[in-house]
Amino acid sequence: MKKILFLVIAITTISCQNSTPKCDDPEVLKTILQIFKENNIEIMYADGYGSVKGDTLSSANTKITDILTTKKDNDLNSCGCEGKLSIESKYISKELEYKNGEFHQAEIGVEKTSIREGLMQYTAQRNSENELIVKVENVEPLTLKSNK
């Protein structure tokens, strides 16, 4: 009985090594955020009115959702992935007020939140040392989805 149990544990351990990562693995998603931050990657807005810098992103304001596996290669321990990148930004908006027959910028601003989204493609792979390698292939310009 001990030999069978040892064999099952050994097979499980061996089969878990160098396994192909999944597109939605938390380690993969965390690595993508690190890539944006460490390289200060600029992500453009689709409307042409700005961008967001990678060093401002955090797990609190950045999400990758609607993740799809577009290809998988078990021999190379790699997968191709696509997901929706969502970035939430807070800002102070000073509305125009109408006083004494003229428009003036309000003295007190109102905190607002905008959410911008765009598709991104990336690959994830485990090398022979079982290290995770992630490559961001493409990030489409972000479109405004919500402005509260």
Q: What is the pLDDT of residues 54-105, one digit of tens each?
A: 988 999 999 999 999 999 999 999 999 999 999 998 877 767 677 777 876 6
Contact 143, 118 (CB under 8 A): yes
35 HSE (CA, 13 A, CB side): 18
| Contact residues for 32 (Cβ-Cβ < 8 A; gap 6+) | 64, 122, 134, 136
Is the pLDDT reported for residue 23 higher than 50? yes
**Burial group, residue 57, by CB count within 10 angstroms (0-12, 13-18, 19+):** buried
* pLDDT value of residue 12: 35
pLDDT of residue 125: 97
pLDDT band at 3 (very low <50, low <70, confident <90, very high): very low
The per-residue pLDDT of the chain, averaged, comes to 84
Q: Mean pLDDT across the stretch 106-128? A: 88
pLDDT band at 106 (very low <50, low <70, confident <90, very high): low
What is the maximum alpha-carbon separation in the chain?
Answer: 91
pLDDT at 1 over 80: no
R_g over Cα of the chain: 22
Would you say residue 15 has pLDDT above 70?
Answer: no
